Structure 1
Amino acid sequence: MNVEELTRQLMLEQIISTKVEWVTLVIGTTLALITAVAGVYKYYKSKNEEARTEVLKQVYAPLYMILVRQELYRKLYIESVSPDEAPILELTNRHQQLKNNQFTETAEKILDREDFINTIDKINIGLASSKLVTLIAMYKDAIKLEEEFSEKKNEIFWKATTIKCDIEKDLIKEIVYRYNYIYKKLGLHRKDRLCKWRVNKEGYFYIDYDLAPERIEQIKRLVDDSPPTS
């Protein structure tokens, strides 16, 4: 091998070595960048999940629970009355008792609008959506005006009552939508196996347990045939 060939071979080896070093540097830099991006993504995903969990826990879950409770009573007592007709239920159980040849009546509230309002007052309003904040502000003022003019039953009273009912519908839809939206964002819906509640096309929550007459009769027979407990 003469000097010229040796020189060419050395130059070729140097070029190959340089390319290998460059490729190694590029691969190392790319892997480091991917690792960094993955770390940032994982960090922000974790922070987003924490934030969503807090919103669910401090705002929408308590309100959703109130709706679940009232819809159970709607299913049991007044299934024919839709949420569109009576968005927030107020149910009173009245008892009559004969005492000293006179009937006395006592009233026990099963569901009260105050329960819903008290729950609203306890949520972390700073974590609520702007729509929910707006609806709550209008709702409280509508109730205040309704109570203020309840004796006069004037035009302001009826306007306040009408807008209160409409706000209640929007409140229910917003609570149901936001709760389910955050629930799905957290991936919790994939772990659910209980599917006895539904959200209809109007955006209202309702309970889907089977209360057909045949099903009730079946339960009656099972209870009647059960041995008495000691």
Structure 2
Amino acid sequence: MAPQTGTGYAPAGIGVTSTSTDLTKYAQALLSGTAPGMAALGPRIRIDSGALAGQQMGLAWVVSDADGHDVTWHNGMTAGMTSMLVVDRQAQAGVIVLGNRARDLTGAGLILLAGTDDPGIPAPPPVDGDTVAWVAVGIPLVLLFAFGAVRGRSRSRVLGQGLGAAGAVLLWGIAQPWDWAPPWTFGVALGVGVAGGVIAAMRWHRLPWLPPRRRAPAIIAFVLGVAWFCLMVGFAVYVGTLIPRTPAG
């Protein structure tokens, strides 16, 4: 897996790496009101849906109500580390939590700031529900292709299943659900898919394009596999257009 460098943030002078010392200085500046862009911490819009419904958003900051005053926080995550910064400007207190795993630390930060197991502020769920279905689609399609690579009786069915599995793995990689599905699970799925491809290639010359009987299911599997793969490639291209690029040089 390539390092997540966040080069798209370079024009703003930031990236995805920091230190506890730097974050402490930043938290102190936020509490004292001397940090640049303090207006970004102020609530701008109300969140009406999802796990954070009822809370408010500043400019990238989540503003939560804690016993009648605002607590402001933001978190971050890559495939190998997690961070959480929460400040209570009225109480002049702040908490920084750093982790070396892709596990959300928002709840831990809010609990530490409140000094109780129930901070009264809902933290984001530990599992990103938006990506569960993406992974749930990938696992059966990869397993189906692995089975078809060994037992399939026609090129059309095996190829359709292979393209379906490739599209599912591509979708899994785009989703990057590392907060609840460790990267090694993606590696296992990719490995099973590659192994299936090798087996299918070894059997390819012995398989007809269509089976002697029940040709319709084989044709349907092929058409659906091609359509699914093309859809996922198109989606990947679309997502790629959303990633900020830094100018060369």
- TM-score normalised over the length of structure 2: 0.23
Q: Which has the higher contact order (CA 8 A, sep 6+)?
A: 1
Rg comparison, structure with higher value: 1
Higher helix share: 1
